Structure 1
């Protein structure tokens, strides 16, 4: 299932190493060239939350899947992402060149008069994409260049200076109108349904008794997508003609049947892996949906 990507997982997946300063009290910061992070044969970036903030500068065609939106931009773009909202980025051609930095809230809060998650680009329901001119890209690129030089320096107060550079990027973007150029799906309902389906399917197959199906309700999915549960339910019903609960139940029954038929796990183990607190709850659920008990289904 989709989980929040930690800093440790980010470094291990991108570079197969961990920096020494992940546990510093000042919070964490690092900066990279995008092209240094695209290794041949690497697994595609997953749609999920991260436990850190991210600012990216790229050129070319980029599709950003962000909460219940898909935004396509073509050109110079500043992108802002927070830990509150799941996302993934598809980059094409020249977009694979540029810069990005990552940082934790603890790193930046000393420099801000307000909370970082209250800033427009990081707020829930905010707009992460800011299209900029060639001149503006040059200016932003210079800031990232200073970050790269400073992160490798021995200057005693380099993190104070790096905080200033991050703040400068934020204020630079705040003077620019955020841009939503094109939605990949024909409407928002179609997009949110596609993301819901992806998150639902990502929890399967259940491969070990210790693996657990956790997103079991419309509310769980709405929280994962950072949208109101009524909005999620309405979008899925309008797109598919079925309720959110119907889709979850249908997929849960399919997996239950597969586990009963193709594993030797006992009913209690299957019950747990499918997210039921008690085997009796699973028995009642399965019988209601199939008109037979799990044990009877297994021996037929």
Structure 2
């Protein structure tokens, strides 16, 4: 196991993290390390590596399997990716791929927040598409017709890239949104989404959760986030409680606990090293925090995996 979980940006070198080599497939960007507008890539699983990760990425990933199977870790959950399943990863989330069948075939797209910000405001994307939130369900089964519909959208993006005409980025942005809309219709059909009434201050809570995901290692108090959001800690706590049923501090603690679990499960770091990497003052404080959240000591959690 590695000594740390690396985080990767979407750049020209990332191709060699997920592919064995540039391929002779003419689908999407299989045959090049270049990206569209430095923030978008579309690929088939031709020559995808047998094992990827564990890693974190600073971009979104959407993948749909059409044949065979592969095991995928999203965050701390493990799924078998098989025909007509779709999965989503968002920035800073843990990702692993392994145990790939010889006949596995899938399509996937990678895109940065900057690439989609014109068409999908980042302060509302989690409300529109709950599978892009760590509390949502990142992996689910599609019907054959739903898979065909999304596959056709992948083909349309591929066709846009081959034509390479004006407003290519804008066309791809629209197809990304259509893919997310189609997936969300399946998500809602299966009643995977929590029933949450839209709130006028919903974007504040969405921004808070995003900020926690970015800064939980260094900012541990509600007042830290309230200051960034230019509201009082009491008002932020009230909004979070009204819209999620949870306290604002519990979101910070949950992110910290998820990171601790990932490091215990996927690295060779000692308990003490993990404690200090997570900015605990000493290992005993970390042990107390972890046991409160899991009823297990860090060592027992690591040994039971």
1:77 aligned to which of 81, 85, 101: 85
Alignment of 1:61-140 (within 5 A): 61-72=69-80, 74-90=82-98, 92-93=100-101, 96-113=104-121, 115=123, 116-118=125-127, 119-140=129-150
Segment drifting more, 159-168 vs 92-101: 92-101
Partners in 2 of 1:246 and 1:135 — Cα distance? Answer: 45
Task: Please report how far the alpha carbon of residue 33 of structure 1 lies from its aligned counterpart in structure 2 after TM superposition.
Answer: 1.0
Task: Please report how far the alpha carbon of residue 44 of structure 1 lies from its aligned counterpart in structure 2 after TM superposition.
Answer: 1.8
Task: Please report how far the alpha carbon of residue 198 of structure 1 lies from its aligned counterpart in structure 2 after TM superposition.
Answer: 3.2
C-alpha RMSD over aligned residues: 3.9
Structure 2 residue runs without a partner (length 5+) = 23-31, 191-257, 281-286
* Structure exhibiting the larger radius of gyration computed from Cα positions: 1
- Residues 146 and 182 in structure 2, CA contact (< 8 A), matched pair in contact too: no
Cα shift readout 1:5-62 (whole Å, capped 9, x = no counterpart):
222442233265774557x4xx51111111x232xxx562011211111111103434
Structure 1 residue runs without a partner (length 5+) = 180-190, 205-212, 222-228, 249-300
Structure 1 residues 246 and 63, CA gap change in structure 2 (3 angstroms): closer
Structure 1 residues 95 and 219, CA gap change in structure 2 (3 angstroms): farther
Structure 1 residues 77 and 91, CA gap change in structure 2 (3 angstroms): farther
Secondary structure in structure 2 of the residue aligned to 1:165: helix
- Residues 63 and 109 in structure 2, CA contact (< 8 A), matched pair in contact too: yes
Structure 2 match to 1:4: 7
Structure 1 residues 131 and 51, CA gap change in structure 2 (3 angstroms): same
In the alignment, structure 1 residue 198 sits paired with structure 2 residue 265:
yes
Partners in 1 of 2:108 and 2:61 — Cα distance? Answer: 7
Structure 2 match to 1:57: 64
Alignment of 1:223-262 (within 5 A): 232-234=290-292, 237-238=295-296, 243-244=297-298
Structure 2 match to 1:28: 39
- Residues 193 and 235 in structure 1, CA contact (< 8 A), matched pair in contact too: no
Partners in 2 of 1:129 and 1:237 — Cα distance? Answer: 27
TM-score, L = length of structure 2:
0.58
Task: Please report how far the alpha carbon of residue 96 of structure 1 lies from its aligned counterpart in structure 2 after TM superposition.
Answer: 2.2
Structure 1 residues 126 and 142, CA gap change in structure 2 (3 angstroms): same
In the alignment, structure 1 residue 150 sits paired with structure 2 residue 153:
no
